[in-house]
């Protein structure tokens, strides 16, 4: 689980509170929503990084296969 700074959670909770019309007595709910939102965002970012790394690895393997095919002596 990713740890978030108190400031990051406070800012996210504030924007959630603002977007919900500044309702009364929602501090705890907004705080938990902020943590959930930050966690989801972190998970999406991590998934994007993994996908990018896999895409690069696939491209590298493809280039290696092409190189091997070009340099291999093929019998006629």
Residue 16 included in any domain: yes
Domain count, the chain: 1
- Quote the pLDDT of residue 48: 86
Residue owning tokens 């998934």:
47
Find the mean pLDDT for residues 46-66: 79
Range of the domain at 11: 6-71
**C-alpha pair distances (Å), 76 with each of 45, 48, 65, 72, 73:** 50, 45, 21, 12, 9
Residue 30 near residue 13, CB atoms below 8 Å? yes
pTM higher than 0.75, yes or no?
no
Residue 76 included in any domain: no
Residue 9 has pLDDT above 90, yes or no: yes
Residue 49 included in any domain: yes
Residue 28 has pLDDT above 90, yes or no: yes
Residue 54 included in any domain: yes
Find the mean pLDDT for residues 9-19: 96
């Amino acid at each position: 689980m990713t740890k978030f700074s108190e400031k990051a959670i406070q800012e996210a909770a504030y924007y959630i509170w603002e977007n919900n019309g500044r309702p009364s007595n929602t501090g705890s709910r907004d705080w938990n929503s902020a943590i959930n939102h930050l966690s989801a965002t972190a998970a999406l970012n991590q998934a994007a990084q993994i996908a990018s790394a896999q895409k690069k690895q696939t491209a590298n393997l493809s280039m290696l296969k092409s190189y091997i095919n070009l340099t291999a002596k093929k019998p006629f």
